[in-house]
Amino acid sequence: MNVNTTIFFSILIAVGLVRVVRKFLDLPTRLPRVNRLLDYIWVPGVALFGLSSLVSWKSDQLDELYLLFVFGVGIWVLLRLRTYRPARLLLLAALPFVVYSAFELALALAAPAVLKEYDDSFEVAQAFTFIWLFTFALIARNQKNQLEKDRLLREEEEKAKQRISAQNVELERLVAERTATLTQQAEELRYALTELRITQNQLIQSEKMASLGELTAGIAHEIQNPLNFVTNFSDVSAELLTELEEEQQKPDRDPELEAEILTDLKQNLQKITHHGQRAASIVRAMLEHSRANNGERQPTDLNKLADEYLRLAYHGLRAKDKTFNATITTFFDPSLGKISAVSQDLGRVLLNLFTNAFYAVQKKQKDGNTPGYVPTVSVNTLHRSSGEVEIRVRDNGTGIPESVKDKIFQPFFTTKPTGEGTGLGLSLSYDIITKGHDGTLMVETEEGEGTEFIITLPG
């Protein structure tokens, strides 16, 4: 067999080596051009074989020469990849082997005798380079695996990072979306609040008007009476004047009678003025009651205010229900003096308490469960020694059940049938006394026995 044909084994080894190295170093991606060139690793071998055949050069070293070339190529590739740590290690692994191979080849070519003489030593050296090669190749492989693991880990981390940032973007989008919704809701709520405030004001105004409606009949009655007096006293004064004139025509004038008539006339004129003013003050009270609140405090005679509104409330109810009647007892403390208050607001509170009191006694009377029942509403004022002023409105009506006692000052709470009460009376009263006048409004009640509201105002 031609010795030179052994080169083909070397070519096969070279091709195998290329495949292994290619895979190990991932050459297609790291060095694509070199990788393509390595496809032609067999060419120099075949060429060498052709050349040696041509020149009929026979040598045992032909395959070794070729392998040395292959190793050289390997070293070159590794040098190009020296930044890649497993490649560096591989270089370190291969270098002694290659250098030794080159040295041995050179020796075999130049001084085969020496080679033969130190055959053992060379074999030991070769074995050592082999061991070195495999050891470091193994380390390189481990390192590569380690690097691969690290890379995978990094990739994983990178992916996680991307996922997180994608989630962040999504979160930010959601937050922006939610913020927009919330802003819109806040806007809507603000609008609703404004609407509610407007409605509240309207309600307060309509509550005033509703209570004015309740008052109308009472007011009519209260105005009718003084007007009747005005008319009657005018009429009777005219009669008196006629009588006086007749008397003056008489030959025997009675000066005593004339004087009496004149006194009466003067008195009548005073009565006319008095009742005219009485009517006017009722009209004024009515106007004040309906006027939008200007909130100005003025010295107010609580006794007079309570008396006025008590009459209005009573006659208001009487006008609706002719059969209704109640005993009214009042004690107005003369030492009360005038206190600083918004009289129309306090008037509304009093009116509300009186109306409620009358309503309660009327209801108890209608229920008819108490024989000999005398509906009684009493109003007392008191100037306490501590300086505070107290108004007590007491009735012996139906009382307030314990279950609703806590709710009576809440807006829109009413026990009256729909349409009869707005449910704002006591809640507005409470606000007027506590917020408007720094006072207190308390209730003492026993179901079936009666109720007492106590207003306390700082003097």
Partner 1 sequence: MKILVVDDETDVRVLFEQRFRREIRSGLFTFSFAYSGEEALTYLHDHASEVVLILSDINMPGMSGLELLRHIKQAYPAPPPTPPQVMMITAYGDDTSRQQAMQLGANDFLTKPVDFAALKEKLTVLASHEN
Token readout for 360 is 């309660």
Query: Taking the complex as a whole, how short is the minimal distance between the CB of residue 199 and partner 1, in angstroms?
Result: 37
Q: Are 344 and 303 in contact (CB under 8 A)?
A: no
Query: Taking the complex as a whole, how short is the minimal distance between the CB of residue 232 and partner 1, in angstroms?
Result: 5
Interface with partner 1 (CB under 8 A), residue from 85, 88, 141, 221:
221
- The contacts found for 314-318 with CB under 8 angstroms, 24 or more apart, are 314/218, 314/354, 314/358, 315/217, 315/218, 315/219, 315/221, 315/222, 316/214, 316/215, 316/216, 316/217, 316/218, 316/219, 316/355, 317/214, 317/218, 317/355, 317/358, 317/359, 317/362, 318/217, 318/218, 318/221
Interface with partner 1 (CB under 8 A), residue from 231, 273, 277, 340:
231
Q: Does 402 bind partner 1 (CB under 8 A)?
A: no
Computed on alpha carbons and rounded to an integer, the radius of gyration of the chain in Å comes to 60
Token readout for 238 is 């005219």
Interface with partner 1 (CB under 8 A), residue from 95, 328, 443, 454:
328
Query: Taking the complex as a whole, how short is the minimal distance between the CB of residue 346 and partner 1, in angstroms?
Result: 22
Q: Does 275 bind partner 1 (CB under 8 A)?
A: yes
Interface with partner 1 (CB under 8 A), residue from 13, 92, 204, 240:
240
Kindly give the residue spans of alpha helices, DSSP state H, lying in 42-118: 42-54, 62-80, 85-110, 112-117
Stretch that binds partner 1, among 32-40, 134-142, 236-244, 425-433 (CB under 8 A): 236-244
Interface with partner 1 (CB under 8 A), residue from 13, 204, 279, 319:
319
Q: Does 322 bind partner 1 (CB under 8 A)?
A: yes
- If the CB atoms of residues 208 and 271 are measured against partner 1, the closer one turns out to be 271
- If the CB atoms of residues 150 and 254 are measured against partner 1, the closer one turns out to be 254
Q: Does 315 bind partner 1 (CB under 8 A)?
A: yes
Stretch that binds partner 1, among 173-181, 232-240, 395-403, 432-440 (CB under 8 A): 232-240
Interface with partner 1 (CB under 8 A), residue from 229, 309, 359, 430:
229
Number of residues that bind partner 1 (CB under 8 A): 28
Interface with partner 1 (CB under 8 A), residue from 22, 144, 208, 271:
271
Please give the Cα distance from 435 to 293 (Å, whole number): 14
- If the CB atoms of residues 314 and 453 are measured against partner 1, the closer one turns out to be 314
Can you tell me whether residue 453 is helix, strand or coil? Answer: strand
Relative orientation angle of helices 302-320 and 255-290, to the nearest 10 degrees:
80
Q: Does 314 bind partner 1 (CB under 8 A)?
A: yes
Can you tell me whether residue 398 is helix, strand or coil? Answer: coil
Give the residues lining the site for partner 1 (CB under 8 A): 221, 224-225, 227-229, 231-233, 235-236, 239-240, 264, 267-268, 271, 275, 314-315, 318-319, 322-323, 325-328
